[in-house]
């Protein structure tokens, strides 16, 4: 299935780094400060992972019944970012096997990239905390596109940056929004099962394959076209 793939682009949150504890802490802090009577259930927060934070906070402000959700959500965003900056290093966690998988995939001839809904400063602090930037050749951050996942614009920009057609690329992510964005862009998709989404949801969203562990990515992707692996 992936024999024509020459590049692999990764999501960040829940895929390369376990930021889920940080994300939940940020939401709890922000909602308590701005919408003290509103707290969406865990499954709603998980279901939104992978989308633009701006859009999520606007949706929460609207759902809470705020009179001016756009104004409230902008204030929420500032609170979220400040808490995130102060607690990022304390609350994120590594995923076992990610550095080894990235090194092996790169050695197999793949170009590796990142397409994330995180803003650049937060994304760089996150992946560099574990030294993952050395493996990533093409980077797409929230700041660089007008539209965000599940829209394919970030992934199409990643394709442009690596100089390949989407059909020569694989997108690896943990959320349904990653799968939809990847398929809409015309890429192959692999669902990362070490994230919080159920496999059935990823398959329904269009995942071409599921990886139970980072090591499974190496098994699923045998080598870029033209290499001898």
CA distance linking residue 51 with residue 56, whole number of Å: 7
Q: pLDDT tens for residues 24-72?
A: 999 999 999 999 999 999 999 999 999 999 999 999 999 999 999 999 9
113 upstream amide cis, omega within 30 of 0: no
- Determine the 3-state secondary structure of 7 from DSSP: strand
Three-class SS state of 49: coil
Walk along the chain (229 residues) and give the pLDDT tens digit of each residue. 898 999 999 999 999 999 999 999 999 999 999 999 999 999 999 999 999 999 999 999 999 999 999 999 999 999 999 999 999 999 999 999 999 999 999 999 999 999 999 999 999 999 999 999 999 999 999 999 999 999 999 999 999 999 999 999 999 999 999 999 999 999 999 999 999 999 999 999 999 999 999 999 999 998 876 444 3
**Tokens at residue 146, please?**
């007008």
In DSSP notation, 194-225 reads TSSS-HHHHHHTT-SEEESSHHHHHHH----T
User: What pLDDT does residue 227 have?
Assistant: 44
């Amino acid at each position: 299935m992936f024999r024509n793939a020459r590049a692999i682009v990764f999501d960040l949150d829940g895929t390369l780094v376990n930021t889920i504890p940080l994300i939940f802490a940020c939401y709890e802090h922000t909602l308590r400060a701005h919408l003290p009577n509103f707290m969406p259930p865990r499954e709603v927060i998980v279901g939104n992972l992978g989308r633009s934070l701006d859009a999520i906070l606007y949706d929460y402000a609207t759902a809470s019944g705020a009179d001016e959700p756009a104004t409230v959500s902008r204030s929420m965003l500032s609170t979220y970012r400040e808490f995130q900056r102060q607690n990022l290093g304390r609350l994120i966690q590594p995923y076992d096997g990610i550095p080894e998988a990235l090194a092996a995939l790169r050695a197999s001839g793949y170009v590796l990239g990142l397409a994330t809904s995180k803003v650049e400063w937060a994304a760089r602090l996150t992946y560099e905390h574990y030294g993952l930037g050395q493996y990533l050749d093409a980077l797409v951050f929230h700041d660089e596109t007008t539209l965000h996942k599940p829209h394919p614009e970030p992934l199409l920009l990643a394709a442009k940056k690596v100089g390949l057609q989407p059909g020569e690329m694989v997108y690896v992510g943990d959320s349904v929004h990653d799968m939809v964005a990847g398929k809409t862009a015309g890429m192959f998709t692999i669902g990362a099962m070490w994230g919080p989404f159920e496999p059935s949801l990823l398959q329904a969203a269009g995942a071409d394959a599921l990886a139970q562990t980072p090591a499974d990515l190496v098994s699923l992707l045998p080598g870029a076209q033209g290499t001898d692996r």
